[in-house]
Every structure is written in structure tokens, then in C-alpha cells.
Amino acid sequence: MSLRVVYVHGLESGPSAGKAVRLREGGLDVLAPALDTSMERLARGEGAAMLAESADRAVAAIEAHRPDVVVGSSFGGAVVHALLGSGRWAGPTVLLCPAWRRVPGAPLLGPCRSLVVVHAPNDEVVPYADSVDLAAATGATLVTTGDDDDHRLSRSATAANLAAWVRLAAGQPG
């Protein structure tokens, strides 16, 4: 049986973008809700509204799909971080270069079960140190990708690796 995943995309992404496609290629049953996110909205000062709307859409997808694991990437990682912090999601989670500190007022989470944080040390958008702090505070497994990787995890977010990170969060053998 395939693991069910809700994938929460980043600002300049969407439900049919690369990571969502590769999660499916990794043999996972993926629901990726469309979020109304953009750098333009962020620049207009709509970050808090965008986060709240995205969280509501993610929760609707979680309720509809009943996932085994929720995956959030960049801004989507901030959305899922907020869901964890509010108790709207408490299950296995993978955060890919999560932009949780970029959201005003986002608290550092306490201990979390089944949390995997993946980040590139040379990320030019979200500081790697944010994920180090998050992993230390939560007890999460921190997966550090290679030095030749970037914010989009262009080299490491392969179908096989994404599926492995999801299985790790779900507590399934590699």
C-alpha cells in the first residue's frame, strides 16, 4: 500500500510542480492543494493572510486525503510548521528548507514526533541555521544535503530521496 501524502508547496510553486511530481514518481499517493501564494502578495504585506489561507487549504486537504505524512516546502514548510504549532496537524512531517522564521510571530516549536527537516547548507533563500535550530528544539531528524545543492534542493530532491524522507518520517524502513 502506498503512503498517502499531502504536499504543501512554496511561494513560487504549485500543485503540479517538480517536487509534487517527484513525490508521485516515488510511488506515493499525493494530494497537493493549490495555494494562492506569490512574492507579489508577500511584497504587498499579505504574508499573514497568505499563511492563514494556506493553512486552511492544507487542513482541508488533510481532512480529505487523510495522509500518513504531510510534506511542506519553503513557504509550505512555514505553513506546516504553523499547523504543527497550532495542533491542526500532529502526524509525521517532512519540512524541506522550511521558511518558518520568515513568518512574523512564528514561535519555535517544542518537541515533535516524527519530524524530518531537510535543508541545503548553501541555501540562498532560507538560512540553513534556521533548520538547525528547529531540529535542535524539536528533536527532529535533520538531513543536510550536499554543498552543491540549493534552496530548491535541485540535486537532492529526487523521487527516490523524497520517498525515503517520507518513509523516514512515517517510521518505515528505507
Instruction: Collect all residues with Cβ–Cβ distance below 8 Å to 65 and sequence separation of at least 6.
Output: 4, 6, 31
Helix, strand, coil % over all residues of the chain, rounded to 5: 40, 15, 45
What percentage of the chain exceeds 70 in pLDDT?
A: 98
Q: How many domains does the chain have?
A: 1
pLDDT tens digits, 5-48: 999 999 989 999 999 999 999 999 999 999 999 889 989 989 88
pLDDT tens digits, 89-142: 999 999 999 999 987 767 788 888 899 999 999 999 999 999 999 999 999 999
Instruction: Collect all residues with Cβ–Cβ distance below 8 Å to 127 and sequence separation of at least 6.
Output: 101
pLDDT tens digits, 139-168: 999 999 998 899 999 999 999 999 999 999
Lookup: cell for 57: 487549504
Lookup: cell for 133: 535550530
Q: Which of 78, 174, 71 is nearest to 131 (CA)?
A: 78
CATH code, domain with 155 = 3.40.50.1820
Domain extent at residue 151: 4-170
Q: Which of 112, 116, 114 is nearest to 162 (CA)?
A: 116
Q: Which of 61, 129, 67 is nearest to 97 (CA)?
A: 129
For 23, 144, 164, 165, the CA distances from 172, given in Å and listed in that order, are 16, 20, 9, 10
What mean pLDDT is predicted for residues 68-90?
96
Q: On the CB side of 28, how many CA atoms lie within 13 Å of its CA?
A: 32
